[in-house]
Each structure stands twice: as C-alpha cells, then as structure tokens.
Amino acid sequence: MATDVMPVASAEASTSRKQGRGRSVNVFGGLSHVALLIWAVLVIFPIVWTFLASFKTNTELFGDTPLALPHQFHWDAWGRAWAKAHIGLYLVNTIKVVAISTFLTMLFGSMAAYVLARYTFFGNKAIYLLFVSGLSFPVFLALAPLWLTMKNLGLLGTHTGVVLVYVAYSLPFTVFFLTAFFRTLPTSVGEAAMMDGCSHTRTFFQIMMPMAKPGLISITIFNVIGQWNQYLLPIVLLPGDAQDKWLITQGIANISTNAGYEADWAGLFAALSMAIIPVLIVYIIFQRQIQSGLTTGALK
C-alpha cells in the first residue's frame, strides 16, 4: 500500500511544481508585455506629436492644450520648410550621400568580413581586432585631424569627402557583425562551389552573399539610419560656405537656430517630419528582414 501512495504523492508534487513555474512564467510574460507597451508609447508618441505639430500654429503649440489635435491641418509649414529653408535640397543631398556611402560600406565590409571569417592567413586575427577596435574610438576625438586631412586632400566642403568618412566610420561595425554572420553559414556549400570550378570572387557574389541576405539587409538598415542621423561629421566636413551641399541634419539645426528669432516652430516640426518619414518607411518595409538577420546567427 505504501508503495502505491509514494508514486501518487510524487506525481502530485511534480504537477504542483509545474503549475508554479507556469504561473511565474505567465506573470513574467505579462510584465514584459506591459514594459514593451510602455516603451512603444514612449517611442511612438513623440513621433506622432512631431507630425501633428507641423500642422499647428504657434498659438496652438504654446497654448493651454499643446497636446490637442490641430484645429485645422495647415500645409503652409511644410511648404516653408521645403522651399524657404531648402529642406528639399538637403533631403536630396542626404539621399545621395547615404545611398553611395551605404553601398560602398556594404560592398567593402562584406568582402572583408567574408575573408576574415572563411580564410586562415597570417594576421587574420590582428586585422579583425583592428576593425573591432574602431568601435571604441569616439568620433569627436578625430574631428580636428579629420578636418585637416580633408582640407589637405581638397575634399573639404564636398560630398566625396563625406562619403569617404561615412564609409570609414561604418566599416568597423559592419565587419564585426558580418564576420560573425558569415561564420554561421555552412562551409560545405562554398567548398562544393569551388570544386565545381567557381572562383573565389564568383563563390562570394553568387553563392555566399545570397545566403547572407538576412544579415546584409539588417546591417544595411542600421548603416542607413546611422548615416542619415549623423550630425557631427557633416557639420565639420561641410562648413557654412558650402551651404548648398548641406545634409538634412544641418538644415534642421539651421531652422532650429533661426526659430528662436523667426518663431517658425511649425516649420521646424515639418522639417523634422520630412527627416523621419523616409527612414520610418524603410524600416517598416524591411522590419521582417531586420528581425530575421538579427536572430539567424543566434539560432544556428
């Protein structure tokens, strides 16, 4: 009889422990959802308010109910920001610079990462650590020598100089991320391609790069966002006498400075909305690829 009671008691104890763990997991899951909801509100609310504020007047913005919806949607501020503040020109400049610099960053970064991840040679680790060390180097420490270098090369006040600097500062993170990603890919596919007569270049571009598509898309989006929002480097490399070459962040900063005198706060929020919308659209379109690229390496 005692032997029959012990298994029953053990089963009941095991069931109660599982139920206790289940309750703790449910509580933790509920708290995490609440935290994510709060975080989403903190991120989304300022963006929505900035967009709505671009349709308001100064009286509405600084009135008793600044969080209320605009009484009437005025597009005048968008027109002033586009034409009078030259945000349209700065937006085109930014798109051109970011597109070229991101393309070059991904091209050179992916090639370097692939070689560092797949080939063994003398100095491999030293080169990889050299790239990684660039992640710990603060940008503001290099502003003065960078300005002198660009001036001596005749690239100060040009988009070419900005592109080269963007590529240089984006390569460390790109190489660090993609090196780890290329190491997760199966080596048998590349070896089979080489045995079939593919060259190293063809194997990389036609075999390995399509396999690394999730990681490439993820790091591309991060580079686009980082370069799009860059302010310190453009303000050093594109001084005031090259105002027709300015980027979007410089244009917004200029509106912010003038807003204290002209009080065109709606125009400032319109310019901010113009800067936010393109990046937001890119992220919404590629959000699944970004999540896939960030989790693929961890799951393999």
State whether 7 and 137 are in the same domain: no
Q: 60 in a domain, yes or no? A: no
State whether 99 and 33 are in the same domain: no
H or E stretch at 77:
helix 76-79
Identify the pLDDT of residue 54: 87
User: The CATH number of the domain where 200 resides is what?
Assistant: 1.10.3720.10
Identify the pLDDT of residue 61: 79
Q: 69 in a domain, yes or no? A: no
Listed in sequence order, the residues at least 6 apart from 173 whose beta carbon sits closer than 8 Å to its beta carbon are 135, 219, 222, 223
State whether 144 and 15 are in the same domain: no
CA distance between the termini of the chain = 51
State whether 202 and 293 are in the same domain: yes
Per-residue pLDDT of 60-105, as tens digits, reads: 877 767 777 887 887 888 888 888 888 889 999 999 999 999 999 9
How many domains, the chain?
Answer: 2
Query: How buried is residue 219: exposed, middle or buried, by Cβ count under 10 Å (0-12/13-18/19+)?
Result: buried
Identify the pLDDT of residue 203: 85
Q: Which of 172, 281, 288 is nearest to 223 (CA)?
A: 172
State whether 175 and 245 are in the same domain: yes
The two tokens of residue 215 are 């990681």
What does pTM read for this prediction? Answer: 0.80
Domain hosting residue 11, numbered range: 2-40
Report the alpha-carbon distance of residue 166 to residue 296 in Å, rounded. 27
Q: 98 in a domain, yes or no? A: yes
Residues of the chain with pLDDT under 70: 1-25, 27, 64, 258-263, 289-300
Report the alpha-carbon distance of residue 222 to residue 235 in Å, rounded. 21
Identify the pLDDT of residue 298: 46
Q: 61 in a domain, yes or no? A: no
- Residue 206 is classified by DSSP as I
State whether 96 and 203 are in the same domain: yes
H or E stretch at 47:
helix 2-53
Report the alpha-carbon distance of residue 85 to residue 252 in Å, rounded. 9
Query: How buried is residue 158: exposed, middle or buried, by Cβ count under 10 Å (0-12/13-18/19+)?
Result: middle
